[in-house]
With several copies, the nearest count.
Chain A
């Protein structure tokens, strides 16, 4: 149940089940199978519909747009999420515009996949979590891979939609095991799920029932895995009880599960690896501060990486990026 393999199997199933699915991306064809090997084996079995492209991120997105407008379901890999910058015009001025500006007469359900994030020493241009800049693009869904969401469900859902999506995959997830809920548990934590109609699911994780938790932690992607460990440890070692909410969809965001949790705990910590300022957590803080104005015990804590480049040096990188230590510290403060 290695995440990279599961994701590859998901894409394989998409290709097998739906003849409209086309995979595009740099170096995604066999034998290489992509920089992170997610697509390995797929071009061998679906040579027409799994295509290595030239190094042209803008055109990858643009050709995907055309495919989608023509009824296909392109899933394009942008080798490093850092290079999503080169697709920004296509995403903002083309892909997400068509359906709305054409009064619903066209659809452009492009899915962009982007291996993202740091902690690997790849340096300033190969380690970023740039998804925050795509949040709030009208008509764009931003979705994050995590270990508690089955990629099969996510892609099945995305392929049901006619709207475009950006799916970010933190690189550190690839070698990890998917940890889906079994019998209401994930590892040492209670697990349950919330799905508002039309929204992708969020997962709740906590050591004890919500009523006994004094803080809500909202996190996605790899940071959600880090946060889960923190939540588990704080419960075991310090009897600090937190409920972790892990959404799969970051924007538009289904705030209901967060609101439900914070209504009980009275306190919120948001966690993300992107840089601080105008970030995912910012919107969470704004929304929850508004919705639960009188019920918040204390201000929302936003945990994000420093507003800076991601250094190459391991030491400097890990002090610049959010790690378990920062999460731990924030949860302790906010649980009080």
Chain B
């Protein structure tokens, strides 16, 4: 976790004293409950605009951010809440932003998809963030820093030409760029099979870029993979790719889900909180759930009270 906006709430971001397993669970639970809360605020008509929740993919964000440092930079996309919360912990700033408030992290100008805070940016236009992340990596390389630049893209974004233009440049110039490709099996309403020919892995490897491919919703596995990749990136220069096969459990944005119910149900059985939650006792889990719940409720109250 690189940088903190405003006051951090350890109930959401984790306590120094708790175990790694507790911490990771808490941090995922935080993102999950933040987004579920957001969706219900939308349903209650408290929010306008649109939003893309990452329910089911929380482990990716948490795993990667565990290994970032001050000076590193994350570029995210339309589905950026999890990335931002894992990076910054700034739930109030994000909620206020989505509420369109002046106290929001971008004064309500950016909204759900356009977030900026130290070490973090997002933009809702697919593809175009990838060269920008490479440019930040180039800046790091030029200034001789060992900071890295991380960019999150989805499977569907592999449709955009900007991605390939950037992979080529990043590989040619050995830029310290980590591309995290979250393959959640769908792009809006379109399954990967209708969007993508050939092999995701080979798309990157064709540029001579090493790919770490992992099919998992287990935050510990992801955490290990991210740790190794980021360490290698800092040690050897870049670029590298972390290709995560995961699943989006919620609709794409709001009320737009035509996927087979059975497919979605099956994935609820192996979602990150379930998978990792088993490593905690019921008591431990309950304690975290309760504290996150209380904190999220405070976040909502605080955000509602802001101008």
List residues of A whose CB falls within 8 A of some B CB: 22, 26-27, 29, 31-32, 35, 48-49, 51-56, 58-59, 61-72, 74, 82-83, 86, 89-90, 93-94, 97-98, 100-103, 105-106, 120-126, 309, 311-316
Q: Complex: how many Å from CA A101 to CA B135?
A: 19
User: Is the Cβ of B116 less than 8 Å from the Cβ of A105?
Assistant: yes
Q: Complex: how many Å from CA A125 to CA B127?
A: 13
- 12 more A-B residue pairs beyond the given contacts A66-B138, A66-B139, with a C-beta to C-beta distance below 8 A: A51-B173, A52-B190, A52-B194, A55-B157, A59-B131, A62-B132, A68-B135, A72-B139, A103-B116, A105-B106, A121-B49, A123-B114
Q: Does B305 contact A (CB under 8 A)?
A: no
8 Å CB interface, B155-189 against A = 156-162, 165-166, 168-169, 172-173, 187-189
What are 23 A-B pairs with beta-carbon distances under 8 A?
A27-B189, A32-B256, A54-B195, A54-B196, A56-B165, A56-B169, A59-B162, A62-B128, A62-B162, A63-B135, A65-B131, A66-B149, A67-B136, A68-B135, A72-B139, A90-B131, A98-B116, A103-B107, A121-B48, A126-B50, A313-B107, A313-B108, A314-B100
Give chain B nearest CB distance to A126 CB in angstroms.
6
* B interface residue count range (under 10 / 10 to 19 / 20 to 34 / 35 or more): 35 or more
Give chain A nearest CB distance to B188 CB in angstroms.
5
Q: Does B79 contact A (CB under 8 A)?
A: no
User: Is the Cβ of A62 less than 8 Å from the Cβ of B100?
Assistant: no
A-chain residues with CB within 8 Å of residue B106 when the two chains form the complex: 101-103, 105
A-chain residues with CB within 8 Å of residue B109 when the two chains form the complex: 100-103, 124, 309, 311-313, 316
B-chain residues with CB within 8 Å of residue A69 when the two chains form the complex: 121, 132, 135-136
A-chain residues with CB within 8 Å of residue B123 when the two chains form the complex: 93-94, 97-98, 125
Q: Does B125 contact A (CB under 8 A)?
A: yes
From A26, A66, A72, A316, B188 is in contact (CB under 8 Å) with A26
Give chain A nearest CB distance to B63 CB in angstroms.
24
User: Is the Cβ of A62 less than 8 Å from the Cβ of B130?
Assistant: yes
A-chain residues with CB within 8 Å of residue B73 when the two chains form the complex: 70
Q: Complex: how many Å from CA A325 to CA B146?
A: 53
Q: Dominant SS at the B interface? A: mixed
Q: Complex: how many Å from CA A122 to CA B101?
A: 15
From B133, B168, B188, B196, A35 is in contact (CB under 8 Å) with B188
Give chain A nearest CB distance to B265 CB in angstroms.
18
User: Is the Cβ of B125 less than 8 Å from the Cβ of A56?
Assistant: no
8 Å CB interface, B60-86 against A = 73
Q: Does B210 contact A (CB under 8 A)?
A: no
User: Is the Cβ of B135 less than 8 Å from the Cβ of A94?
Assistant: no
User: Is the Cβ of A122 less than 8 Å from the Cβ of B100?
Assistant: no
A-chain residues with CB within 8 Å of residue B50 when the two chains form the complex: 120-122, 126
User: Is the Cβ of B138 less than 8 Å from the Cβ of A123?
Assistant: no
B-chain residues with CB within 8 Å of residue A124 when the two chains form the complex: 109-111, 114
Q: Complex: how many Å from CA A32 to CA B187?
A: 12
Q: Complex: how many Å from CA A309 to CA B110?
A: 9
Q: Does B142 contact A (CB under 8 A)?
A: yes
B-chain residues with CB within 8 Å of residue A83 when the two chains form the complex: 125
Q: Complex: how many Å from CA A29 to CA B190?
A: 9
A-chain residues with CB within 8 Å of residue B256 when the two chains form the complex: 32
Q: Complex: how many Å from CA A68 to CA B138?
A: 11
Give chain A nearest CB distance to B6 CB in angstroms.
14
User: Is the Cβ of B194 less than 8 Å from the Cβ of A123?
Assistant: no
Give chain A nearest CB distance to B39 CB in angstroms.
16
Q: Complex: how many Å from CA A321 to CA B133?
A: 31
User: Is the Cβ of B195 less than 8 Å from the Cβ of A66?
Assistant: no
Q: Complex: how many Å from CA A125 to CA B114?
A: 9
User: Given contacts A59-B161, A72-B142, is CB(A53)–CB(B49) below 8 Å?
Assistant: no
Give chain B nearest CB distance to A97 CB in angstroms.
7
Residue among B97, B107, B126, B135 with the highest chain A CB neighbour number at 10 A: B135
Q: Does B124 contact A (CB under 8 A)?
A: yes
B-chain residues with CB within 8 Å of residue A71 when the two chains form the complex: 139
B-chain residues with CB within 8 Å of residue A121 when the two chains form the complex: 48-50, 100, 111
User: Is the Cβ of B108 less than 8 Å from the Cβ of A312?
Assistant: yes
A-chain residues with CB within 8 Å of residue B113 when the two chains form the complex: 123, 125-126
User: Is the Cβ of A123 less than 8 Å from the Cβ of B124?
Assistant: yes
Residue of chain B at shortest CB distance from A51: B173
From B111, B129, B162, A58 is in contact (CB under 8 Å) with B162
Q: Complex: how many Å from CA A227 to CA B160?
A: 38
B-chain residues with CB within 8 Å of residue A126 when the two chains form the complex: 50, 113, 124
Residue of chain A at shortest CB distance from B175: A63
Q: Complex: how many Å from CA A247 to CA B48?
A: 32
Q: Does B282 contact A (CB under 8 A)?
A: no
A-chain residues with CB within 8 Å of residue B137 when the two chains form the complex: 66
Q: Complex: how many Å from CA A48 to CA B142?
A: 7
Q: Complex: how many Å from CA A35 to CA B190?
A: 12
Q: Does B134 contact A (CB under 8 A)?
A: yes
User: Is the Cβ of B135 less than 8 Å from the Cβ of A64?
Assistant: yes
Give chain A nearest CB distance to B124 CB in angstroms.
5
User: Given contacts A100-B109, A123-B111, A125-B124, is CB(A55)–CB(B159) below 8 Å?
Assistant: yes
B-chain residues with CB within 8 Å of residue A74 when the two chains form the complex: 135
A-chain residues with CB within 8 Å of residue B194 when the two chains form the complex: 52
Residue of chain A at shortest CB distance from B48: A121
From A27, A48, A66, A120, B190 is in contact (CB under 8 Å) with A27
Q: Does B258 contact A (CB under 8 A)?
A: yes
Give chain A nearest CB distance to B29 CB in angstroms.
27
